[in-house]
Amino acid sequence: MNKKIIIFLAVLILIIIVITFVGFFTGKKQKKEIKEIGSVEVKEKREPLPIPIVEEKETAKEGGKTTSTKEEKETTEKPSKLLFNQALYNISIDYPLIYVYDPDKEVIKYLDLENEAFREIIKVSGFKNAWLSDDKTKIIIETEAGLSLVDLKTDELFALPPFTKGFFFTPQPWLFISNDKDIFYLAEFKDGKTNRIRYLGILNPEFAPLKDEVLIYEKNSPLFSLELKSPNSLKIFLNDHNYYDVLVSKDKSLIYLVYQSEGKWQSKIIDLNKKTRYLFSWGVNKEKCSFNELLVCALPLNPEPESWAELGPSFDVKIVIFNPKNNSIKEVKIEDRLDLIKPTLTPLGIIAWDRLSQKFYLLKAD
């Protein structure tokens, strides 16, 4: 009897040990699976590049230094490649991200070129245009219903005043409000509220923010400046020409200016002391340039900024890359019939949006 009891107890203990053993490893496996799933960043549907990006190597030519008036350059010729099959509207190129409007899904999203993924930001109907702040925290969107501000930090959406005719980021948005009759003033827009700053006696102002001030001008007018901290008086910044377009470098240290001289379009780069750093024998709209560390501009055969702004027909023949550190210029010829917007130099090459096809292209710059 004692023997049977001992055998029964031994079997029972063995069963308990087996159940405990199996339960332990089953639980451990479940914890491992949960940990792996939780640690993976879930990405949305990928949009692959239609053409593989193949590195092309060429022997680089040595470019010499230039004076402020002489253009010494090297020229290469590279085929352009379609970056995405789909037509998209360009908002901002900030490699590896490209902010776009997708007309098929009616959403603003950004495309991540490194991970070949995208993330939707906001759904927009009746889209016309959009502008992203330098710090990438705000977007002003123009639709058929008017202008709105999206705060990407708080996920809030604000309708801007109906008479808003212009704006710039400081990074807080400043608005130019005008009814074209008796209202012309600047206002700061914060937390959905408008704080009037000062009267501005300019009918159709354009804005180019610097670090502590903003440049203000109308098309073909002198440049004025306004201090942001104490905007009491509007001062003349530069009046040697009537300037058509102004583009400030990303670090706010250099200014690209477009103007006419003796009936010919020209451009130049100046520093904050108003000293001319370089003169170009051409001038193209600021929309056809980007100015990060380098100035990159797409040039038609005969640049006509006023005609181009009125949607005049134009095909670019080359992209000019200017390095302000050593005054060197490189040119990349364009084979296709493209009208490029904001060509931007990235590790992949030059990425630009074509105004004609509404698609993004990649051009090798090496």
Give pLDDT, residue 52: 30
**Which residues, listed in sequence order, are joined to residue 296 by a DSSP beta bridge?**
290, 321
Which range is least confidently modeled, 19-33, 78-92, 228-242, 279-293?
A: 19-33
Beta bridge partners of 73: 329
Average pLDDT over residues 300-314: 90
Max Cα–Cα distance, the chain, nearest Å: 121
Contacts of 159 (CB under 8 A, 6+ apart): 146, 147, 148
Residue 235's identity, in one-letter code, is: K
Distance separating alpha carbons of residues 269 and 280, to the nearest angstrom: 9
Could you tell me how many helices (H) and strands (E) the chain has, helices first? 2, 28
Tokens 């931007």 belong to residue: 344
Residue 161: DSSP 8-state: P
Residue type, 7: I
Of 22-26, 169-173, 326-330, 357-361, the range with the lowest mean pLDDT is 22-26
Which amino acid makes up residue 169?
F
What average pLDDT does range 275-293 have in this prediction?
A: 97
The neighbour count for residue 209, using CB atoms within 10 Å, is: 19
CA distance 364 to 350: 6
Pair 322, 329: CB distance under 8 Å: yes
What pLDDT does 31 receive?
32
Region 89-97: mean pLDDT is: 97
At residue 71, does pLDDT exceed 70?
no
15-24, 205-214, 228-237, 352-361: which has the minimum mean pLDDT?
15-24
Nearest to 296 by CA among 252, 247, 355, 356: 247
Confidence of residue 312 (pLDDT cuts 50, 70, 90): confident
SS3 51: coil
DSSP codes joined into one string, 240-301: EEEEEEEEE-TTSSEEEEEEEETTEEEEEEEETT--EEEEES----GGGEEESSSEEEEEES
Look at 47-51, 302-306, 308-312 and tell me which has the smallest mean pLDDT.
Answer: 47-51
- CA–CA gap between residue 122 and residue 130 (Å, rounded): 12
Domains of the chain by residue range: 58-363
Mean pLDDT of 228-239: 93
Question: Judging by DSSP bridges, how do beta strands 73-77 and 328-333 pair with one another?
Answer: parallel
255 vs 72, residue with greater confidence: 255
So what's the pLDDT on residue 30? 35
The letter for the amino acid at 293 is E
Tell me the CATH architecture of domain 58-363. Answer: 7 Propeller (2.130)
Residue 241 pLDDT greater than 60, yes or no: yes
At 17 the pLDDT is 57
Q: What is the pLDDT of residues 23-37, one digit of tens each?
A: 444 443 333 322 221
Q: How confident is the model at residue 46 (pLDDT cuts 50, 70, 90)?
A: very low
CB neighbours of 251 closer than 8 A, spacing ≥ 6?
Answer: 293
Q: What is the band of 7 on the pLDDT scale with cuts at 50, 70, 90?
A: low
Band (pLDDT 50/70/90 cuts) for residue 350 is: very high
Flag the least confident range among 58-62, 180-184, 303-307: 58-62
Q: Are 110 and 127 in contact (CB under 8 A)?
A: no
Closest CA to 281 of 293, 296, 295, 299: 299
Q: Among 21-25, 43-47, 80-84, whose mean pLDDT is lowest?
A: 43-47
> Given pLDDT bands bounded at 50, 70 and 90, which one contains residue 296?
very high
User: Nearest CA to 94 among 112, 106, 82, 109?
Assistant: 112
Across the range 182-200, mean pLDDT stands at 95
Which of the 8 DSSP states describes residue 220? T
Nearest in space to 176 (alpha carbons), one of 192, 160, 157: 160
Distance CA 125, CA 127 (A): 5
Q: Identify the band that residue 67 occupies on the pLDDT scale cut at 50, 70 and 90.
A: very low
- Reply yes or no on whether the pLDDT at 61 is more than 70: no
Instruction: Report which secondary-structure segment, H or E, holds 118.
Output: strand 117-123
Whole-number mean pLDDT of the chain? 84
**Band of pLDDT at residue 340, cut at 50, 70 and 90:** very high
